[in-house]
Amino acid sequence: MSVIHRRKVGGRNLLFTHSSDGVIRAFYNSCPHRGALVCREGKGNAKVFRCFYHAWSFNNQGELVGLPDKEGFLEDHNCDGSKNMMAVKRLESYRGFIFVNFDDNAISLEDYLGNAKEYLDLVADQTEVGMEVLQDSQEYSVRANWKLLCENSFDLYHGVPTHKTYFDIVATRGGIMEKGSLVGEAHDLGNGHAVMEYYAPWPRPIGKWIEGYGEEAKEIIEKINARLVERFGEERAHRISKKNRNILIFPNLVINDIMAIAIRTFYPIEPGYIEVSAYALAPKNETENFKQVRNDSYLEFLGPGGFATPDDNEALELCQEGFANNKEVEWNDISKGMNRAIPQATDEAQMRAFWREWNVRIMDAEAKKIDAGRVKV
């Protein structure tokens, strides 16, 4: 029996399976017979995947195991395995985060993540038993260019003016904006990855209790903090539990470790329209009551109907409309913090890191086009 999840990654329909042998696999979700999706459900459990169109069946290793009217095919049909489901060649993981790569010649995941691994570790180290996604993903769309969402995802400068209502509500529950709130640093992590790490007035299920969480949650959080100190010492435990971080893994993976842990991926459908998938992440061993506290905290701010996401989407769509004036009006100033030796979390160094990598990729792509043209000539 396999646990299955269907995902779209980079425009490809993929089927992920986690089998009883402990192996995680990824297949292109296309029947090798006539191309139909083999699996239509978003998630579930199955021993065999049966194509709806002609009933070809495949086991959880992608092997063709069922073929109606087999006598109608040649005796050596599928002897070379060409009619099995095609597996994704590059499937790699880091601390439980699963990545696929469609480029056979790309560098390893470890090398690609580089300095970003330090911040993924801060997320993964919040539990000894592993993380899980809470319920289903949230799916929504934004009428804006996808790179605007990259910028927005680690833009602390807009936090207070754009999301003032949320900060006001948090204050009524004990999350008061103090002198050190929204103070921190921004870091270019290489390869286009970047992060901002900072303190904030909102609660954190991993380590910052406020009255709105209730007394039961207070005791749980105190135990979590004590265990973190036991495992990592005071300094690292404090960093894991008290600091917030918004991480961008270039080009379009966002991990927000703030009042809850959110994972977002997003893909451009056209230059001014993107589709977003968002997931809430949590330790596997949390009680149902505390898991509800965490999920409420996630949905209140990060959910598609929360206090932040609709505001952000509105801001991005306003930017997209405003960019229609770009022939006459200079736009997208991301110079904030260039006058500081150490960029602050409310600066824009993290955005510059993204755009520098984007510029390199564009220049490389243009150079390849030129080289290809020269070869043709």
Secondary structure of 164-199 as H, E, C letters: HHHHHHHHHCCCCCCCCCCCEEEEEEECCEEEEEEC
pLDDT digits (tens, 9 = 90+) for 301-313: 999 999 999 999 9
Task: Output the six-digit token pair for 80.
Answer: 């070379």
Q: What is the pLDDT of residue 374?
A: 57
The H-or-E segment that residue 295 falls in is helix 288-301
140 falls within a domain: yes
pLDDT in tens, 30-85: 999 999 999 998 888 988 999 999 999 999 889 999 999 998 998 889 989 899 99
How far apart (Å, rounded) are the C-alpha atoms in residues 206 and 161? 26
pTM: 0.91
Within a domain: residue 13?
yes
Are 42 and 163 contained in the same domain? Answer: no
Same domain, 185 and 242: yes
Which domain, by its residues, includes 143? 111-327
Question: Contact 216/209 with Cβ under 8 angstroms?
Answer: no
Q: How far is CA 213 from CA 80, 126, 204, 257, in A?
A: 59, 19, 10, 18
Task: Say if residue 72 is in the same domain as residue 22.
Answer: yes
Two structure tokens written together for 300: 């209140």
**Cβ-based neighbour number of residue 37 at 10 Å:** 16
Residues 156 and 82 in one domain: no
Give me the CATH number covering residue 117: 3.90.380.10
Q: How far is CA 81 from CA 7, 13, 48, 53, 77, in A?
A: 24, 21, 17, 20, 9
Which residues of the chain, if any, have pLDDT below 50?
376-377
C-alpha closest to that of 246 among 190, 302, 297: 302
Question: For the chain, how many structural domains are there in total?
Answer: 2
Per-residue HEC secondary structure of 83-143 comes to: CCCCECCEEEEECCEEEEECCCCCCCHHHHHHHHHHHHHHHHCCCCCCEEEEEEEEEEEEC
